Amino acid sequence: MSLLSDLTNINLSDSTEKIIAEYIWIGGSGLDIRSKARTLPKPELDPAKLPKWNYDGSSTDQAPGNDSEVILYPQAVFKDPFRRGNNILVICDAYTPAGEPIPTNKRHSAAKIFSHPDVVAEEPWYGIEQEYTLLQKDVKWPIGWPVGGFPGPQGPYYCGVGADKAFGRDIVDAHYKACLYAGINISGVNGEVMPGQWEFQVGPSVGIGAGDQIWAARYILERITEIAGVVLSFDPKPIPGDWNGAGAHTNYSTKSMRNAGGIDVIKKAIEKLGLRHKEHIAAYGEGNERRLTGRHETADINSFSWGVANRGASIRVGRDTEKEGKGYFEDRRPASNMDPYVVTSMIAETTILWKP
């Protein structure tokens, strides 16, 4: 195994200018991450200068077998924490050979919203809190839990320390450092309320970059859990009963909200979000009704509410924002399996572009 490790960690720059680019895209389910690698003649960090590529869409539920070619368009580049050196990870979206975005390409429509002059002028910032659960590979039960049984009740696990409280910290720390190496603006991590569940935060990031960075961070986490022999779950309620679900709370602000008097802009934006509550819920992730029950720090899925420092509301405004009269708010409704391209662009569309 030491020879295998030595070969895996070869520094290519010692012998060639060529690099390895891992092209990453989203598969047919909208949550499955796919990737494959290719050799490029020299280092390159500009996605516009990278070649397009193709894949068999019939094998990812994204094209019929008799017309299966799907084209990958490079959109964002990150350093590769696995191969290191000048090697790169490339976030792509997918198109037909005629240049039309395929139905599962949510980035394309999001980019249209983020390129609208009114949205560009507002410089929307996002901070996304991505929760996830680590499962034992063969039994699909949270790590640290007795197989077929349960740990002690919730209480000591949130930000907990110790072998009987924090399960999977090596994976979490490896992911944290790998994201920083890659150039992702990961801003923190913490253990969550349910044991075996963790969270990482990405942001502040601007516009379409928020979605690119979350997908890159998810890819890196999938790869690390693959190495560790652990299953990664983004299910919004992986364990029924008196256990917290998993969300992707989305913190948001615009330039107008961050400027003096921004609290009034925030209140108007929240009012708009309330008017489109059903549309947002429909786009905020699968199975979210199992999580948004009005319990376990959630608002009921059928009602809309907001409040200052209220983690049982749909929208939470922080104490600092209230005190300073400007800042940001947190949309607590998105599920952990949400598509960040959909959620971020929909929030921008509703709060900036939509006219009730």
273-308 residue pLDDT tens: 999 999 999 999 999 999 999 998 899 999 999 999
Q: What is the dihedral of CA 190, 193, 195, 200, to 10 degrees?
A: -30
**DSSP 3-state assignment of 240?**
coil
Angle at 355 between CA 325 and CA 265, to 5 degrees: 5
Give the span between the Cα atoms of 179 and 186, in whole angstroms. Answer: 6
* Locus of tokens 């072998």: 163
Q: Report which of 254, 235, 257 is spatially closest to residue 244, judged by C-alpha positions.
A: 235
Inform me whether the pLDDT recorded for 102 exceeds 80: yes
Q: Is there a common fold for 3-104 and 117-353?
A: no
Share of the chain above pLDDT 90, in %: 93
Inform me whether the pLDDT recorded for 254 exceeds 80: yes
Give the span between the Cα atoms of 131 and 124, in whole angstroms. Answer: 22
143-182 residue pLDDT tens: 999 998 999 999 999 999 999 999 999 999 999 999 999 9
Q: Six-digit token pair at 76? A: 């964002």
Phi, psi of 262 (to 5 degrees): -65, -20
Inform me whether the pLDDT recorded for 195 exceeds 70: yes
DSSP 52: P
Q: Report which of 47, 59, 58 is spatially closest to residue 23, judged by C-alpha positions.
A: 47
Angle at 142 between CA 141 and CA 148, to 5 degrees: 45
28-71 residue pLDDT tens: 999 999 999 999 999 999 999 999 999 999 999 999 989 899 99
Residue 129 amino acid letter? E
Which CATH code is given to the segment(s) 3-104?
Answer: 3.10.20.70
| Residue 1 binned pLDDT confidence (cut-offs 50, 70, 90) | low
> Under CATH, domain 117-353 is a member of which superfamily?
Glutamine synthetase/guanido kinase, catalytic domain (3.30.590.10)
Give the span between the Cα atoms of 31 and 158, in whole angstroms. Answer: 26
200-237 residue pLDDT tens: 999 999 999 999 999 999 999 999 999 999 999 999 99
Q: Report which of 104, 99, 98, 101 is spatially closest to residue 60, judged by C-alpha positions.
A: 104
pLDDT at residue 311, as a whole number: 84
The total number of residues written for the chain in this structure: 356
Q: Identify whether 151 is preceded by a cis peptide bond (ω within 30 of 0).
A: no
Share of the chain above pLDDT 70, in %: 100
At 252, which helix (H) or strand (E)? strand 248-253
Q: What are the boundaries of each domain within the chain?
A: 3-104, 117-353
